[in-house]
Amino acid sequence: MVSGFQPSDAHVPSAGRLVLHTPNPLDLSIEDLNDLAKHLSDGVANNGHPDIQVSVDSYEPLGVGNHFVDQLYVILPHAEFMKDTIFATVVASVTGFMRNRFKRKHENKRPRKVYFFAPDGRLLGVFVLEDENAEVRWLDQVDHGEP
């Protein structure tokens, strides 16, 4: 798994639940993710999915250091969610959120990496933003849930 991420009952969403997870709340705060969750909730509801709940989760940080990469884990309601048109809304919202983090003092040098997981913990996709103006770069060495 990525950076020690192991899904547990507390982190696995039930059907209709999308979870934003920070591996280190000292890097990516719960307060910031709550703002993103509100924006995502509005976006998915406005795109015909008012049944999807968005929540925020984190671990207690191990140690006091920061990561060299700003990381966000998005746990999707189900693996097929990536094929749904609403996934584009999620990606656009998360991308905008991560781009805005480059504007913060001491935050403009670290790349951003977003991991998308199935509820069972399987990694479905990863994208990277190298800087505020960079195009989203999807990494292709992940399991997309196909047989």
CA 114 to chain CA centroid, Å, is 5
pLDDT at residue 41 is higher than 90: yes
pLDDT of residue 47: 86
3-class state of residue 25 by DSSP: coil
Mean pLDDT, all residues of the chain: 82
Alpha helices in 1-147 (DSSP H): 30-46, 86-101
146 within domain boundaries: no
- Over 80: is that where the pLDDT of 138 sits? yes
Q: What is the pLDDT of residue 98?
A: 95
1 part of a folded domain:
no
Residue 145 belongs to some domain of the structure:
no
Average pLDDT over residues 15-34: 88
- Pick the closest to residue 87 from 63, 133, 118, 64 (CA basis): 118
Residue 105 lies in a domain: yes
Nearest to 117 by CA among 63, 83, 78, 62: 78
Residue at 144 is within a domain: no
Q: What average pLDDT score do residues 19-30 get?
A: 87
Question: How many independent structural domains does the chain possess?
Answer: 1
Say if CB 119 and CB 90 are below 8 A apart.
no
Q: Is residue 59 pLDDT above 90, yes or no?
A: no
Range(s) of the domain holding residue 61: 12-139
The answer to whether residue 117 scores a pLDDT higher than 60 is yes
Alpha-carbon gap, residue 93 to 10, rounded angstroms: 24
Q: Is 21 exposed, middle or buried (0-12, 13-18, 19+ CB in 10 A)?
A: buried
Q: What percent of the chain has pLDDT over 90?
A: 44
Q: Which two tokens stand for residue 50?
A: 């008012």
What's the token pair of residue 27?
């890097």
Question: Residue 75: is its pLDDT beyond 90?
Answer: yes
CATH number for the domain harbouring residue 126? 3.30.429
Distances (CA, A) of 13 to 7, 58, 119, 133: 10, 13, 6, 32
Query: Is residue 147 included in any domain, yes or no?
Result: no
Q: Could you give the CA distance from residue 74 to residue 57 in angstroms, rounded to a whole number?
A: 10
